[in-house]
Chains A and B, each alone.
Chain A
Amino acid sequence: MTDKRILSVSAIKNGTVIDHIPANSLFKVISILELDKLDTQMTFGTNFISKKLGQKALIKISNKFFEDAEIDKIALVAPEAKLNIIEDYQVIEKRDVEVPDKIVGIVKCMNPNCVTNNENVLTKFDVISKKEVTLKCCYCEKITDQDHLKII
């Protein structure tokens, strides 16, 4: 933990740090992980300088450890995000996020005639490609690609 920028946001004792979030995706990540519903201490920082992303955001959440399936959902909006698992002020694990095989909710189907855009139905997709994220709607069977990906 020699990085002064990270230390400029106070360190946490136990919990999860999500780093390298594109600055414009911070609020999407908050909504995907439903952080607004948690009652633990959290710090959000944004518009930090990042060599890789230009401007990045980070999130520190005390006493919260995510399941892989839960955290992987943010790969749709923050594919470069890095997770640091903190115990007693030490990073005990680092990991990347990976786009999951299935996406439930989060994304809107781009087909206007799809049942999910006309009835009260939660969207559901099979992930066909993870690199250039390509989703196939489990209902209308149409493709939603990276360029048309809209977060609900």
Chain B
Amino acid sequence: MKNKSLISINDYTPEELLKIIDIAGEFEKNPVQDILRGKVIATLFFEPSTRTRLSFESAVNRLGGRIIGFTDASSSSVKKGESLKDTIRTVSNYSDLIVMRHPLDGSARYASEVATVPVVNAGDGANQHPTQCLLDLFSIKKTQGTLENLNIFLVGDLKYGRTVHSLLMAMSNFNPTFNFISPEELRIPNEYKLFLDKKGIKYYEHLDFSDIISKADIVYMTRIQRERFSDPMEYEKVKNSYVLHNYMLKDTKDNLKILHPLPRVNEISEDVDENEKAYYFTQALNGVFTRQAIISSILGLK
């Protein structure tokens, strides 16, 4: 993986995914190391994403690296009309690796073509967010002991949620069963169902999940946004069907864990937070170890 940009989760083979997860496990045991001393990591956030940026910066800081960059496009020369290419070329001169968040789909792939240093995609529009996917995989492996043969429930906005799509693609390497739970308007797109059919992976679609949750190993919750609905009445009708409450976890499996990419609004009721099956805050912490693993593998240090 040395010098290889990470743009899309599909860029990594299943073996490479597992390798990153293993290295993330090492960082979890020993998160403070001086291996990035003398390295400069650029974090270019053309749109704000506080959580992702802080996670990357925490990862680099704990490894002794230094950070340069900007936190939104208004404080960079993009405002003066500089092209993405010129920004990336310039910053390549100043850094050993570029972490980039950008509102345009495909911007990260393009940046990796013009950069002279590796690029890590921290979200390109509605397209990909591979480091989120890797931290999800790490969280699943850590809590379940394996990635193989799991029953995974994906809940909420399955149409637009890019984390859901990436997770689906990545987990498809490990013989899962998927249960898709969403309102009619936000069902999983056909192209993903065709992909699963082709791979021979079992999946089921539901409008409600309260009576089937007892089968789940992982419940991956996502936020349903009002603006995704063409009819606001439809949103009002369905919004409460996709909220997880503590009482719903009563008869669930012991190994069940609840994941959420955060930020949460109301789709997980706060009474779930104290349940030991709630995992979303630890999941966010795992993001730091995963990003340490990604950066240090790409720089050839692990």
Contacts and interface: CB of A to CB of B under 8 A. Distances in A.
A8 interface: no
| Most chain B CB neighbours (cut-off 10 Å) among A113, A115, A116 | A115
B107 interface: yes
Contacts of A143: 191
Given A141-B127, A141-B128, A114 B106 contact: yes
Interface string A56-87: 00000000000000000000000000000000
A117 to B, nearest CB: 9
A24 to B, nearest CB: 31
Contact of B84 (A109, A115, A138): A115
A140 B7 CA distance: 11
B191 A113 contact: no
A119 B128 contact: no
A113 B124 CA distance: 10
Nearest to A143: B191
Q: Chain A interface residue count: which class?
A: 10 to 19
Interface residues of B, number: 17
A140 B125 contact: yes
A118 B110 CA distance: 12
Interface string A102-141: 0000000101011110111100000000000000011111
Q: Which residue, of B8, B83, B103, B109, has the highest number of chain A Cβ atoms within 10 A?
A: B109
A142 interface: yes
A26 to B, nearest CB: 32
Given A120-B83, A139-B105, A113 B125 contact: yes
B251 to A, nearest CB: 40
B85 interface: yes
Interface of B: 8, 83-85, 103-107, 109-110, 124-128, 191
24 contacts: A113-B105, A113-B125, A113-B126, A114-B104, A115-B105, A115-B110, A115-B124, A116-B106, A119-B83, A119-B84, A119-B104, A119-B110, A121-B110, A137-B106, A138-B106, A138-B109, A139-B106, A139-B107, A140-B124, A140-B125, A141-B106, A141-B127, A141-B128, A143-B191
